[in-house]
Amino acid sequence: MLSNLLIENYALIDSLEVDLASGFTVITGETGAGKSILLGGLSLVLGKRADLNSLRNKDQKCIVEAYFLIKDYGLQPFFDANDLDYEETTIIRREILPSGKSRAFINDTPVKLDILSRLGDQLIDVHSQHQTMQLTENDFQFKLIDALATNKVRLSNYTNTLKSYSAVKKELNDLTEFQHNATKEQDYNTFLLTELEAAPLKEGILEELETQYEQLNNVELIKEELSKGDQLLNDDEIGVLSLMTEARSSLLKLAGFGTQYASLHERIQSVFIELDDVNTELQAFQEAVESDPGLLEEVNTKLQLLYNLQKKHGVSEISELIAIRNQLSDSLFETANVDQKIVLKTKELQELESSLEERGALLREKRNGVIPRLKKQLEADLSLLGMPSASFQISLNPTDSFKANGMDELSFLFTANKGSSYGVLKKVASGGELSRIMLVIKAILAKYEKLPTIMFDEIDTGVSGEISNRMADIMRDMSAEMQVFSITHLPQVASKGHHHFKVYKTEENEGTRTNMKKLVYDQRVIEIAQMLGGKELSDSAMAHAKELLN
């Protein structure tokens, strides 16, 4: 329920704040007083696009703020899904800055316009001539029938199954496509995998083989240099080890003469041990190094194989070849098992299809059960609204396809005149007739589902007398279930409101302003009398106004 509305610096509105209540609220005012401006301001908090031209003062920002009591709307999941603070009194604020930028807030949390719009759709239903055209759309007609058939849970079960069906169908199509492509490439991929599995692929193998190749390919040079090193270390006259032995002996003799000499002896002893160890390894290498043409050829073959594989697959690292090998292995494994997967997915799809058919048939059964009652109620209510010959032909035609709301095609035909041919609503019903049809449909819906606040924007245009009385009664009856607003020019409708607001303009030095005020009983009498007889208040108009109000 809309409990409070604040509008600042919007069009002809300087500053406006009104407190609103439950029940049936009527809004009246002369043509051009600004009732459409009020709707325009309200539309901003419902997520409509902002227009910089709507700023009254171009140097100040426009603010529209609305308070909604949402306890009974079941909107907690919406707030949770959009990471918003849920408050039973929810505040929606919209700002238009002088720069042209627009900002929106839900309970002081900034939100994008699409979130605001989706929330707005669940809070207020602004019924205008444009929205009346929804009546001609199949989705809206299905919504009406499903509300009467209490199909909410059944429809949810159907749509959830349809989502699963669509997902499994896509998986099956993907598997079939994979199988088709994999079969064509299977032989080649098997060849590539066999080739890679035959190669010595492991981390660091390339560097290891390259080192081994360089050693085998330079055996003579390695032997020659090792021999030279051995000679330099072990020559009797100039060998480093012989000279080091003499030096160590000399320093040993000095070690007893002080710690500094003892330290020198320890250091040269350490160097001698390290050098002797080097000599041992050098001699071992000399004995181990041998020419092996066969091993050289083997290493070279492995290297060339790895180089060729890198070139073939366009990579520079052995790790990349390993990844390709693993990927090919996984792909061929998938190919080998895809037939079984297709069998399982096909069975799953058939089970979901059977479930959809059952649920679609149940929806159709419940819909067919309420169509006669809907037809009778629509025709009876329209007869009271001055359309005694209005008649509907409503029928469901089963289909084999799974649609978003079932397996039916809906035919919703209408004629306003006895003996005339039936046709689709948008072709055979006038704007005034569509407005009356929509009104009775909204009244029916209000009995079966929790509708948001509804605002009728001059739905009574073109009617008068007893018909306008009946339209007012319908809107007042609806207000027992929901908050109802009606912007009207008809005194019969205005008199039926629980609350009455008047929109009016004032002209001052600063310019023209639109204002809005709540009328008390005496003010309502005058307003309705003027709606009946004009500005000049006659006794008969005043008496008639009091009669309508009473």
**384 pLDDT exceeds 70?**
yes
C-alpha torsion sign, points 239, 245, 250, 254? positive
Q: pLDDT tens, 421-452? A: 999 988 888 877 888 888 899 888 888 877 78
Pair 183, 119 in one domain = no
* Confidence (pLDDT) at 130: 60
How far apart, in whole angstroms, are the C-alpha atoms of residue 264 and residue 453?
102
* Confidence (pLDDT) at 187: 67
Pair 321, 241 in one domain = yes
* Confidence (pLDDT) at 79: 95
Of 336, 363, 390, which closes a domain?
336
Pair 321, 195 in one domain = yes
Task: Could you list the beta-strand ranges (E) of 458-510.
Answer: 484-487, 499-508
In a domain, 304, yes or no: yes
**155 pLDDT exceeds 80?**
yes
How far apart, in whole angstroms, are the C-alpha atoms of residue 379 and residue 391?
6
Cα angle 343, 346, 347 (rounded to 5 degrees) comes to: 90
This prediction's pTM:
0.67
SS3 category, 224: helix
Run of H or E residues at 375: helix 318-384
Q: pLDDT tens, 66-94? A: 999 998 888 999 999 999 999 999 999 99
Pair 203, 118 in one domain = no
Q: pLDDT tens, 105-153? A: 999 999 999 999 999 988 998 886 666 667 778 888 998 999 999 999 9
CATH assignment of the domain containing 11:
3.40.50.300
In a domain, 372, yes or no: no
Give the residue with greater pLDDT, 123 vs 291: 123
Number of domains in the chain: 2
**342 pLDDT exceeds 80?**
yes
In a domain, 184, yes or no: yes
**236 pLDDT exceeds 90?**
no
How far apart, in whole angstroms, are the C-alpha atoms of residue 492 and residue 549?
9
* Confidence (pLDDT) at 393: 94
Run of H or E residues at 63: strand 62-69
In a domain, 109, yes or no: yes
What residue numbers bound the domain in which 297 lies? 178-336
Mean of the per-residue pLDDT values for the chain?
Answer: 88
Pair 76, 222 in one domain = no
Pair 308, 182 in one domain = yes
Pair 323, 243 in one domain = yes
**213 pLDDT exceeds 90?**
no
Pair 63, 186 in one domain = no
